[in-house]
Amino acid sequence: MILRVALDTPLRRLFDYLPPAPGAPAPTLAGAPVEAAPGMRVAVPFGRQRRVGLVVEIAAASDLPLERLKPAYELLDVAPVADAKLLALLRWAADYYHHPVGEVIAAALPKLARLGARAVPQVEWWVTTIDGEAALAAGEPRRAPRQRELLERIARDGGVDAEVLGAERPGWRDAARALVARGWISSAEVVPGTTADAAVAPEDTLAPVAGAGAAQAAPSAGEEARLLPPRLSEAQQAAVDAVIAAGEERYHAWLLHGITGSGKTEVYLRLVERTLARGRRALVLVPEIGLTPQLVARFAARFATVPLALLHSGLTDVQRLAAWRRVLSGEARLVLGTRSAVFAPVPDLGLIVVDEEHDASFKQQEGGFRYSARDLAIVRAQALDVPVMLGSATPALESLQNVAAGRFRRLSLPRRAAHALPPTLRLVDLRQESVHAGLSSTAAAAIQRHLGAEGQVLVYINRRGYAPTLACKACGWIAPCADCDARMTVHLAAQRLRCHHCGADRPLPRQCTVCGYELRTVGQGTERVEESLAKMFPQAPIARLDRDVVRHAHELEAVVGRVASGEARILVGTQMVTKGHDFPNVTLVVVLNADQGLFSTDFRAAERLAQTIVQVAGRAGRGDRPGEVLIQTEYPEHPLLRSLLAAGYDGFAEAALRERREAAWPPFMRLAALRASGTAPEAATGFLAAARRAARPPPDLRVLGPAPAAMARRAGRHHAQLLVESTDRAALHRFLDGWLPEVEALPEARKVRWALDVDPLELF
């Protein structure tokens, strides 16, 4: 028997080992030793190190001669931590993204599990030995009452958990040591529930999951109403009925296209409820900053008695391990998580939901393994033969094309739930207006009006900090980042200059570093907008939402709380304000500047801008009163803004898809980007040029580049990319299969960091 093991290394292969030698530490289940099986972790010798890997296959033979194979040190699991279906998904992802399978599997496991932490929390179980029983029967030990009591206690129930002993008799370990020395008692690490006395299998040794406790606290009076599910609107009911009619135990991919505030979440809740009622589990994926306290509270309030696990990037390693264990054991029946939760080992998974499926955070864009959690959710649902529902008010053009091609079925929620009307959108021509601190007189008057009518106002600006530029009044010097092709942003309150690309951070200079003259700030960020609004509307308390004021979930909770309670009347924020919040009293939304993104070189920029505008506009008028949206621009005639205002997101999307087809961009073309960066200016382009020379593209495939990134230098590294495109997906992957090993072997590869990005989201 040969174990074929995936290890966290950049090598594109599995590693063969013999099973652990007899006498190696071996896990047992109900007293019987466990045999290695696919999906279990093993500790193995790798070079001079001890590494933890995952058994992917059991083979009868190895390509290597048997005498060269080493035995694994130790089997670490009593049951697979990735079942056959999950393992298949991981191997599929490794193939599709052309990434080493060991690193793919590593990305799916919490760090502590990768280091060998037990998948099932173990208990330290104490039992008496045969000699111990005999000693007890003989009335020993006579002169050590504490030892005698401990021996009796351990014998009483046939064994006892160390935690119980610790609680009952502090200081027991001294007595235990003495009894061990006499050979009368012994201990072992065991899986709860497998001991003689299952009654003490300690549920409570499971560490609580961060957030879940708070989320499951009793709902406040305002949320109480939500415990009672609302009557579904006709469109919501039709959506739920369509899924039921298609068969909830079958794979179908649904695109729930509902305008903002149309009640998509309510549809998810009903489908989740039905899934749980069938005894299966549900996985709900949300964007990186979508896992808000509000959303969690809604799920937790509806499923008050259902154990919930949250998986997101804010967890500590220990919390992540605890959450993963609760998922793996099946204890958690509902899993809410961000990107990497698509790999959560949920047993008997019956439904996958991807909320805000257009969100860029579902795509891993850093590091080596760059995957799309949305796309993998589809693949996973297909393999499990269960429904998957993607929801958005602004679906990705790819998803709309999947509907057109018959791969997804669209469900529409064209109206807002609870009688709210969609907001009215209006462009404000900045060239025709007097503008003060970025705010037009029209917008200022509207803010005054809405505040006067007891409404709340949301001001969106795509930039944090005080001002994006610090310039000299005399010589025109502009504060640059030393390591990026970018300017430093002024953070006035903190008295710092910061680079938003590399994180460089230094004190705010008092005068020009070149000529010594006075400096001025140019342009606005959230901090400055907050300052000028405070001057213009001194009566209205302001809340700000951006990454400078909100770094942790509890800070987000505090800001959201101030707005939800009505205490703050104006909310100023970046992208963060566009996501999922439901503030029924916001009646006016002002988009300060829509113009960044109108003229980008990235073919997806228009789509992203349209999505942002529609999403932020969707925060207006969610309650009883109608909403108004003002979009400030210097290009009111721009076709994108025109089509968006005239025909809504649907109209925009139709026009944008037509353009994509004509220009042969995705989804009508398959792309992969080979990206590289190096410290020497020519390293990346040199490597990519060599990669291009090594390529022998078939006739239906093109290799383009290398081209430097739009911002070529970032954090002191020079970035460039090579693009591979084909209309034929299979041809693209066949090409990559042959080409990548050659790319890897290039001598130039050693001077750069490089990664392949299949289906890249951002081209730079």
CB 716, min distance to Zn ion, A: 8
Q: How far, in Å, are 595, 622, 651 from residue 631 at the CA level?
A: 10, 18, 18
- With the CA atoms of 749, 754, 759 and 764 taken in that order, what torsion angle do they form, in degrees rounded to the nearest 10? -110
Q: Which residues contact 160 (CB under 8 A, 6 or more apart)?
A: 125, 126, 153, 154, 197, 200
Residues 381-440 that bind ligand ADP (CB under 6 A): 417-418
Report the site for Zn ion in 442-481 (rule: CB under 5 A).
Answer: 481
Q: Is 292 in the site for ligand ADP (CB under 6 A)?
A: no
Q: 3-state DSSP call for residue 88?
A: helix
Q: Name the minimum Å distance from CB 58 to ligand ADP.
A: 46
Containing H/E element for 372? none
Q: Cβ 479 to Zn ion, closest distance in Å? A: 11
Beta bridge partners of 390: 255, 354
CA distance 28 to 39: 17
> Of residues 194, 216, 265, 612, which one binds ligand ADP by CB under 6 A?
265
Question: At its nearest, how many Å lie between ligand ADP and the CB of residue 292?
Answer: 11
Q: Is 559 in the site for Zn ion (CB under 5 A)?
A: no
Under a CB-based contact definition with an 8 Å cutoff, are residues 526 and 563 in contact? no
- Residue 201 touches Zn ion, criterion: CB under 5 A: no
Query: Is residue 582 close enough to count as binding ligand ADP by CB under 6 A?
Result: yes
Query: Cα 401–405–407 angle (5° rounding)?
Result: 95
| Choices 258-266, 365-373, 460-468, 649-657; region in contact with ligand ADP by CB under 6 A | 258-266
Give the residues across from 702 on adjacent strands: 725
Partner whose binding site includes residue 246, from ligand ADP, Zn ion, none (CB under 5 to 8 Å by kind): none
Q: Closest residue (Cβ) to ligand ADP?
A: 263
Q: Which is nearer to ligand ADP, 223 or 728 (CB)?
A: 223
> Which residue lies nearer to Zn ion by CB, 288 or 483?
483
266 binds, among Zn ion, ligand ADP, none (CB under 5 to 8 A by kind): ligand ADP
Kindly tell me which of 417 and 640 has the beta carbon lying closer to ligand ADP. 417
Q: State in angstroms the smallest separation of the CB of 714 from Zn ion.
A: 7
- The one-letter amino acid code at 112 reads L
Min separation Cβ 244 and ligand ADP, Å: 17
Stretch that binds Zn ion, among 71-79, 355-363, 457-465, 493-501 (CB under 5 A): 493-501
Taken in order 120, 123, 124, 128, the sign of the CA dihedral is negative
Residue 501, interface with Zn ion (CB under 5 A)?
yes
CA distances from 71 to 22, 81, 274 (A): 10, 21, 47
Which is closer to ligand ADP, CB of 48 or CB of 231?
A: 231
Q: What tokens were used for 338?
A: 């961000």
Contact flag: residue 263 with ligand ADP (CB under 6 A)? yes
Count of chain residues binding ligand ADP (CB under 6 A):
16
Q: Which is nearer to ligand ADP, 263 or 686 (CB)?
A: 263
Task: Give the distance from CA 44 to its chain's centroid.
Answer: 31
Local structure of residue 231 (DSSP, 8 states): P
Chosen from Zn ion, ligand ADP, none, partner binding at 438 (C-beta under 5 to 8 Å by type):
none
How far is residue 151's CA from residue 184's CA, in Å, rounded to a whole number? 8
Q: Which stretch binds Zn ion (CB under 5 A): 112-120, 278-286, 482-490, 581-589?
A: 482-490
The contacts of residue 732 (CB under 8 Å, 6+ apart) are 670, 672, 701, 724, 725, 726
Please pick, from the candidates 502, 540, 598, 731, the single residue that binds Zn ion as defined by CB under 5 A. Answer: 502
Look at residues 364, 225, 224, 385 and name the one whose alpha carbon lies nearest to residue 287: 364
* Residue with Cβ nearer ligand ADP (75 or 589): 589
Q: Which of 104, 235, 504, 571 binds Zn ion (CB under 5 A)?
A: 504
258-273 in b/e burial notation, b at 16+ Cβ within 10 A? bbbbbbbbbbbbbbbb
Nearer to ligand ADP, 162 or 232 (CB): 232
Q: 216, 260, 526, 633: which one contacts ligand ADP (CB under 6 A)?
A: 260
Q: How far is the CB of 414 from ligand ADP (least distance, A)?
A: 11
Work out what residue 265 binds among ligand ADP, Zn ion, none; the CB cut-off runs from 5 to 8 Å by kind. Answer: ligand ADP
DSSP string over 733-753: HHHHHHHHHHHHH-GGGGGSE
Span near ligand ADP by CB under 6 A; candidates 177-185, 261-269, 475-483, 695-703:
261-269
CA dist., res. 580 & res. 39, Å (int) = 37
How many CA within 13 A on the CB side of residue 210?
A: 16
Q: Which of residues 221-250 bind ligand ADP (CB under 6 A)?
A: 230-233, 236
- Answer with the entry of ligand ADP, Zn ion, none that 504 interacts with (C-beta below 5 to 8 A by kind): Zn ion
Buried b (16+ CB within 10 A) or exposed e, 637-648: ebebbbbbbeee
Residues 6+ apart with CB under 8 A from 464: 489, 500, 525, 526, 527, 546, 547, 548, 574
Which of residues 496 and 562 has its CB atom nearest to Zn ion in the complex?
Answer: 496
Pick the stretch among 29-37, 185-193, 262-270, 471-479 that binds ligand ADP (CB under 6 A): 262-270
Polymer length of the chain = 764
Name the residue nearer to ligand ADP (CB basis): 258 or 760: 258
Residues that bind ligand ADP (CB under 6 A): 230-233, 236, 258, 260-266, 417-418, 582
Residues that bind Zn ion (CB under 5 A): 481, 483-484, 499, 501-502, 504
